[in-house]
């Protein structure tokens, strides 16, 4: 899926280049004073999100026309402690090092959406709205089997062994992606963005607040 994501990002770059070529040809055939207009494109990074799965990091590529419409391709990835652990689960190791050693649930989200931007009185403030589809890959521990650990070696700060054996399972699903946001442009090439977003799926839905930086040709 990562190879497909990279291929899609390269395809978006090519679409932007081809569309820019057609724009240039059509503009040269007219006498309008807009020959210097160029297609908008930008990369969003690191796009840190906090929501019902804690912290996710991601990146994105957006290509837009001068009519404030475009396409965006994004990815997000993050891990949190699995929510389906038995109540008496304990992990091997020292508990005072800050890492509890509990098995994690990993989420990878790939998002393809249409983008619309809106004009404001200030050219530096640009509201946006995105709607599209999501593909989610989720890996989580399951099939827990109780394994008694040598209790004589256990203490409040050290566990001799995991109290359960388990295996990781993978689930994949598609959903609806929605993202209203706003960005503030420092220059024509750098902006900061903030957004609320959600991925609606039949089993596991996601939502969060996102902050990110944008680099590229923003206007």
pTM: predicted TM-score of the whole model, two decimal places: 0.74
What is the C-alpha separation between 50 and 58, in angstroms, rounded? 12
Domains of the chain in sequence order: 40-217 (2.40.160.20)
Query: Do 197 and 218 contact (CB within 8 A), yes or no?
Result: no
Question: By C-alpha distance, which of 193, 207, 185, 217 is closest to 44?
Answer: 193
Task: Encode pLDDT of 57-68 as tens digits.
Answer: 888 999 988 778
Q: Helix or strand or coil: residue 173?
A: strand
Q: How confident is the model at residue 150 (pLDDT cuts 50, 70, 90)?
A: low
162-206, pLDDT tens digit by residue?
Answer: 678 889 999 999 999 999 999 999 998 999 999 999 999 988 888
CA-CA distance, 179 to 81, in Å (whole number)?
A: 26
- Structural tokens at position 141: 């521990």
Please tell me the distance from the alpha carbon of residue 107 to that of residue 22, in angstroms, as a whole number. Answer: 39
Of 110-124, 126-140, 159-173, the range with the lowest mean pLDDT is 159-173
Structure tokens given for 77: 């990835």
CB atoms within 10 A of CB 128: 20
In SS3 terms, 30-92 reads as CCCCCCCCCCEEEEEEEEEEEECCEEEEEEEEEEECCCCEEEEEEEEEEEEECCCCCCCCCCC
pLDDT given for residue 66 in this prediction: 75
């Amino acid at each position: 899926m990562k190879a497909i994501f990279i291929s899609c990002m390269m395809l978006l770059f090519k679409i932007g280049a081809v569309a820019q070529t057609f724009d240039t040809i059509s503009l040269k055939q007219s006498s309008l004073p807009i020959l210097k207009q160029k297609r908008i494109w930008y990369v969003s990074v690191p796009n840190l999100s906090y929501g019902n799965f804690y912290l996710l990091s991601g990146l994105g590529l957006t290509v837009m026309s001068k009519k404030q419409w475009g396409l965006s391709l994004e990815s997000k990835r993050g891990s949190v402690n699995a929510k389906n652990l038995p109540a008496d689960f304990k992990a091997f190791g020292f508990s005072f090092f800050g890492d509890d050693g509990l098995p994690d649930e990993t989420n990878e989200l790939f998002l393809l959406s249409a983008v619309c931007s809106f004009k404001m009185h200030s050219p530096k403030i640009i509201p946006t709205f995105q709607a599209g589809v999501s593909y989610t890959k989720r890996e989580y521990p399951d099939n827990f089997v109780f394994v008694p650990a040598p209790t004589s070696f256990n203490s409040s700060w050290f566990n001799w062994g995991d109290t359960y054996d388990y295996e990781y399972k993978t689930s994949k699903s598609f959903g609806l992606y929605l993202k209203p946001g706003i960005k503030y442009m420092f220059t024509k090439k750098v902006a900061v963005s903030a957004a609320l977003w959600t991925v609606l799926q039949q089993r596991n839905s996601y939502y969060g607040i996102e902050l990110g930086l944008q680099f590229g040709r923003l206007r």
